[in-house]
Amino acid sequence: MYEEKYDGWRMVAYKNGSAVRLVSRNVVDHTERFRELASAIAALKAPTLILDGEVCVFDKQLVSQFHLLGGAEPSELCTPPVFMAFDCLHVHGLDVRGLPLHRRRAILEQEVDDARVVFAARRLPDNLAAWAVVKERGYEGLVAKDDQSLYRGGPTRSWIKCKIRHEGRFILAGILGLPSTFAGILVGEQRGKRLIFRGTVEWGLGLRTANELLRRGRERSTSPFHDFRLSRGVTWLEPTLTVEVTYSEIMEGRLRDPVYRSIL
Protein backbone atom coordinates (compact mmCIF):
# COMPACT_ATOMS: atom_id res chain seq x y z
CA MET A 1 0.00 0.00 0.00
CA TYR A 2 1.51 3.34 -1.07
CA GLU A 3 0.58 6.76 0.32
CA GLU A 4 1.81 10.29 -0.16
CA LYS A 5 4.35 11.39 2.47
CA TYR A 6 3.29 14.69 4.01
CA ASP A 7 5.45 17.57 5.14
CA GLY A 8 3.65 18.60 8.31
CA TRP A 9 3.27 17.88 12.03
CA ARG A 10 2.66 14.29 13.11
CA MET A 11 -0.36 14.29 15.41
CA VAL A 12 -2.73 11.85 17.13
CA ALA A 13 -6.36 12.96 17.40
CA TYR A 14 -8.35 11.70 20.40
CA LYS A 15 -12.16 12.05 20.25
CA ASN A 16 -14.43 11.23 23.19
CA GLY A 17 -17.87 12.58 22.46
CA SER A 18 -17.49 16.30 21.82
CA ALA A 19 -14.11 16.45 23.58
CA VAL A 20 -11.09 16.36 21.24
CA ARG A 21 -7.35 16.51 21.85
CA LEU A 22 -4.61 16.90 19.23
CA VAL A 23 -1.33 15.61 20.65
CA SER A 24 2.08 15.67 18.93
CA ARG A 25 4.68 12.91 18.93
CA ASN A 26 6.54 14.59 21.81
CA VAL A 27 3.30 14.75 23.82
CA VAL A 28 2.52 18.44 23.33
CA ASP A 29 -1.18 19.31 23.22
CA HIS A 30 -1.93 21.46 20.14
CA THR A 31 -5.73 21.48 20.44
CA GLU A 32 -5.96 25.23 21.04
CA ARG A 33 -3.55 25.96 18.19
CA PHE A 34 -5.74 24.02 15.72
CA ARG A 35 -9.22 24.71 17.06
CA GLU A 36 -10.89 24.43 13.63
CA LEU A 37 -9.43 20.94 13.19
CA ALA A 38 -10.54 19.94 16.69
CA SER A 39 -14.05 21.17 15.90
CA ALA A 40 -14.14 19.19 12.64
CA ILE A 41 -12.98 16.00 14.40
CA ALA A 42 -15.58 16.54 17.14
CA ALA A 43 -18.24 16.59 14.40
CA LEU A 44 -17.33 13.10 13.14
CA LYS A 45 -20.05 10.51 13.73
CA ALA A 46 -18.12 8.02 15.87
CA PRO A 47 -18.59 8.75 19.60
CA THR A 48 -15.04 7.58 20.34
CA LEU A 49 -12.18 7.70 17.86
CA ILE A 50 -8.37 7.81 17.79
CA LEU A 51 -6.68 8.76 14.52
CA ASP A 52 -2.99 8.93 13.65
CA GLY A 53 -2.12 11.50 11.02
CA GLU A 54 -0.45 14.73 10.10
CA VAL A 55 -1.54 18.36 10.30
CA CYS A 56 -0.65 19.92 6.94
CA VAL A 57 -1.02 23.06 4.87
CA PHE A 58 -0.98 22.69 1.08
CA ASP A 59 0.23 25.22 -1.48
CA LYS A 60 -1.64 26.12 -4.67
CA GLN A 61 -0.31 22.96 -6.36
CA LEU A 62 -1.77 20.93 -3.44
CA VAL A 63 1.68 19.94 -2.19
CA SER A 64 2.17 20.00 1.60
CA GLN A 65 4.65 22.62 2.77
CA PHE A 66 6.05 22.62 6.31
CA HIS A 67 6.92 26.32 6.35
CA LEU A 68 3.25 27.25 5.76
CA LEU A 69 2.38 25.85 9.22
CA GLY A 70 4.08 28.78 10.97
CA GLY A 71 2.19 31.17 13.17
CA ALA A 72 2.31 34.14 10.77
CA GLU A 73 -0.27 34.59 8.02
CA PRO A 74 1.23 32.96 4.89
CA SER A 75 2.06 35.37 2.07
CA GLU A 76 1.21 32.81 -0.62
CA LEU A 77 -2.02 31.11 -1.66
CA CYS A 78 -2.56 27.99 0.46
CA THR A 79 -5.15 25.88 2.26
CA PRO A 80 -6.05 26.22 5.92
CA PRO A 81 -4.56 23.53 8.19
CA VAL A 82 -6.08 20.12 7.46
CA PHE A 83 -5.75 16.76 9.19
CA MET A 84 -4.50 14.01 6.87
CA ALA A 85 -5.32 10.76 8.71
CA PHE A 86 -3.38 7.65 7.76
CA ASP A 87 -4.43 5.20 10.48
CA CYS A 88 -7.23 4.40 12.90
CA LEU A 89 -6.37 3.02 16.36
CA HIS A 90 -9.71 3.07 18.16
CA VAL A 91 -13.33 3.46 17.03
CA HIS A 92 -16.78 3.02 18.61
CA GLY A 93 -15.20 1.77 21.84
CA LEU A 94 -13.05 -0.86 20.08
CA ASP A 95 -9.24 -1.08 19.94
CA VAL A 96 -8.51 -1.90 16.28
CA ARG A 97 -4.70 -1.81 16.40
CA GLY A 98 -4.63 -5.61 16.10
CA LEU A 99 -6.44 -5.58 12.76
CA PRO A 100 -4.41 -5.65 9.51
CA LEU A 101 -3.77 -2.27 7.94
CA HIS A 102 -6.09 -2.80 4.96
CA ARG A 103 -9.02 -3.26 7.36
CA ARG A 104 -8.03 -0.26 9.48
CA ARG A 105 -7.77 1.79 6.29
CA ALA A 106 -11.33 0.81 5.30
CA ILE A 107 -12.57 1.85 8.75
CA LEU A 108 -10.69 5.14 8.50
CA GLU A 109 -12.15 6.00 5.10
CA GLN A 110 -15.66 5.28 6.36
CA GLU A 111 -15.25 7.42 9.49
CA VAL A 112 -13.88 10.53 7.73
CA ASP A 113 -16.10 10.33 4.65
CA ASP A 114 -17.58 13.78 3.89
CA ALA A 115 -15.74 15.35 6.84
CA ARG A 116 -14.61 18.97 6.82
CA VAL A 117 -10.81 19.53 6.77
CA VAL A 118 -10.23 15.89 7.80
CA PHE A 119 -9.16 13.50 5.02
CA ALA A 120 -7.75 10.03 4.57
CA ALA A 121 -4.14 10.10 3.36
CA ARG A 122 -3.87 10.18 -0.41
CA ARG A 123 -3.37 6.69 -1.85
CA LEU A 124 -0.89 6.24 -4.72
CA PRO A 125 -0.63 3.58 -7.45
CA ASP A 126 1.41 0.46 -6.78
CA ASN A 127 5.17 -0.03 -7.02
CA LEU A 128 7.19 2.16 -9.41
CA ALA A 129 4.05 3.95 -10.61
CA ALA A 130 3.76 5.45 -7.11
CA TRP A 131 7.26 6.91 -7.34
CA ALA A 132 6.49 8.33 -10.79
CA VAL A 133 3.49 10.20 -9.33
CA VAL A 134 5.64 11.55 -6.47
CA LYS A 135 8.20 12.96 -8.93
CA GLU A 136 5.60 14.31 -11.36
CA ARG A 137 3.56 16.16 -8.72
CA GLY A 138 6.48 17.32 -6.56
CA TYR A 139 5.49 15.50 -3.36
CA GLU A 140 8.03 15.18 -0.56
CA GLY A 141 8.02 11.41 -0.97
CA LEU A 142 5.94 8.33 -0.26
CA VAL A 143 5.33 5.79 2.49
CA ALA A 144 5.16 2.12 1.46
CA LYS A 145 3.17 0.02 3.95
CA ASP A 146 2.56 -3.68 4.41
CA ASP A 147 -1.22 -3.91 4.15
CA GLN A 148 -1.19 -6.87 6.60
CA SER A 149 0.74 -4.97 9.27
CA LEU A 150 -0.64 -4.36 12.75
CA TYR A 151 -0.37 -0.99 14.49
CA ARG A 152 2.60 -1.02 16.87
CA GLY A 153 4.50 1.86 18.45
CA GLY A 154 8.17 2.46 17.71
CA PRO A 155 10.32 1.87 14.62
CA THR A 156 9.07 -0.69 12.12
CA ARG A 157 10.08 -2.13 8.75
CA SER A 158 6.40 -2.51 7.87
CA TRP A 159 6.23 1.20 6.97
CA ILE A 160 9.06 2.46 4.75
CA LYS A 161 9.53 6.17 4.00
CA CYS A 162 11.09 7.16 0.69
CA LYS A 163 11.88 10.85 0.22
CA ILE A 164 12.83 12.84 -2.85
CA ARG A 165 16.42 14.08 -2.54
CA HIS A 166 18.06 16.87 -4.54
CA GLU A 167 21.73 17.32 -5.34
CA GLY A 168 23.49 20.66 -5.40
CA ARG A 169 26.90 22.30 -5.49
CA PHE A 170 27.61 24.88 -2.82
CA ILE A 171 30.57 27.01 -1.81
CA LEU A 172 32.36 26.05 1.41
CA ALA A 173 32.92 29.13 3.55
CA GLY A 174 33.53 27.94 7.10
CA ILE A 175 33.87 25.03 9.50
CA LEU A 176 32.22 24.91 12.92
CA GLY A 177 34.00 23.51 15.95
CA LEU A 178 37.64 23.02 14.94
CA PRO A 179 40.30 22.11 15.99
CA SER A 180 39.33 19.36 18.46
CA THR A 181 35.65 18.83 17.58
CA PHE A 182 33.40 19.19 14.57
CA ALA A 183 29.87 20.63 14.40
CA GLY A 184 29.29 21.24 10.67
CA ILE A 185 30.35 23.11 7.57
CA LEU A 186 28.84 26.42 6.47
CA VAL A 187 27.88 26.58 2.80
CA GLY A 188 26.48 29.21 0.46
CA GLU A 189 25.59 30.18 -3.10
CA GLN A 190 27.03 32.98 -5.19
CA ARG A 191 24.51 35.62 -6.23
CA GLY A 192 26.31 38.18 -8.36
CA LYS A 193 29.17 39.44 -6.20
CA ARG A 194 27.53 38.30 -2.96
CA LEU A 195 27.87 34.94 -1.21
CA ILE A 196 24.49 34.02 0.32
CA PHE A 197 24.34 31.68 3.32
CA ARG A 198 22.40 28.45 2.66
CA GLY A 199 22.92 26.61 5.94
CA THR A 200 25.01 24.26 8.05
CA VAL A 201 25.73 20.72 6.88
CA GLU A 202 26.26 18.35 9.82
CA TRP A 203 25.72 14.90 8.29
CA GLY A 204 27.93 12.85 5.98
CA LEU A 205 31.27 14.00 7.34
CA GLY A 206 33.25 14.12 10.57
CA LEU A 207 36.37 15.60 12.11
CA ARG A 208 38.72 13.78 9.73
CA THR A 209 36.95 15.12 6.62
CA ALA A 210 36.65 18.59 8.18
CA ASN A 211 40.41 18.70 8.73
CA GLU A 212 40.98 17.63 5.13
CA LEU A 213 38.72 20.47 3.94
CA LEU A 214 40.67 22.86 6.16
CA ARG A 215 43.95 21.63 4.69
CA ARG A 216 42.72 22.23 1.15
CA GLY A 217 41.26 25.65 1.89
CA ARG A 218 42.72 29.01 2.87
CA GLU A 219 41.80 30.53 6.21
CA ARG A 220 40.57 34.08 6.58
CA SER A 221 39.66 36.23 9.58
CA THR A 222 36.10 37.28 8.69
CA SER A 223 32.93 35.76 7.23
CA PRO A 224 32.76 35.78 3.41
CA PHE A 225 28.93 35.70 3.56
CA HIS A 226 26.91 38.78 2.73
CA ASP A 227 24.16 37.79 5.21
CA PHE A 228 25.83 35.71 7.94
CA ARG A 229 28.34 37.05 10.46
CA LEU A 230 28.63 34.42 13.24
CA SER A 231 32.20 34.51 14.53
CA ARG A 232 32.57 32.34 17.64
CA GLY A 233 33.59 28.75 16.98
CA VAL A 234 33.97 29.21 13.20
CA THR A 235 37.10 28.77 11.12
CA TRP A 236 36.37 30.95 8.09
CA LEU A 237 37.70 29.98 4.66
CA GLU A 238 38.19 31.84 1.41
CA PRO A 239 35.21 30.90 -0.81
CA THR A 240 37.27 28.88 -3.29
CA LEU A 241 36.16 25.30 -2.54
CA THR A 242 32.95 23.70 -3.85
CA VAL A 243 31.20 20.77 -2.17
CA GLU A 244 28.37 18.51 -3.33
CA VAL A 245 25.42 18.23 -0.95
CA THR A 246 22.13 16.33 -1.08
CA TYR A 247 19.04 17.85 0.55
CA SER A 248 15.26 17.48 0.66
CA GLU A 249 14.46 21.10 -0.27
CA ILE A 250 15.47 24.73 0.16
CA MET A 251 12.99 26.24 2.59
CA GLU A 252 13.05 29.98 3.24
CA GLY A 253 16.54 30.17 1.80
CA ARG A 254 18.01 27.35 3.90
CA LEU A 255 18.89 23.76 3.02
CA ARG A 256 16.67 21.22 4.72
CA ASP A 257 18.15 17.86 5.80
CA PRO A 258 21.51 18.50 4.03
CA VAL A 259 24.06 15.68 3.76
CA TYR A 260 27.65 16.14 2.56
CA ARG A 261 28.72 13.93 -0.35
CA SER A 262 32.10 15.12 -1.62
CA ILE A 263 34.43 18.00 -2.41
CA LEU A 264 34.61 18.88 -6.09
* 171, 197, 203, 205, 208 from 212: Cα distances, Å: 16, 22, 16, 11, 6
Residue 105 CA to residue 88 CA, distance in Å, equals 7
Q: Which amino acid is at 60?
A: K
Of 5, 60, 163, 193, catalytic: 5
251: phi then psi, degrees, rounded to nearest 5: -115, 120
* 183, 158 Cβ separation under 8 angstroms: no
Q: Which residues contact 83 (CB under 8 A, 6 or more apart)?
A: 11, 13, 34, 37, 40, 41, 51, 53, 54, 55, 56, 117, 118, 119
Instruction: Say whether 31 sits in a helix, a strand or coil.
Output: coil
Is 5 labeled as catalytic in the residue annotation? yes
- CA proximity to 97, closest of 82, 107, 83: 107
Q: Are the C-beta atoms of 107 and 91 separated by less than 8 Å?
A: yes
Active centre residues (catalytic): 5
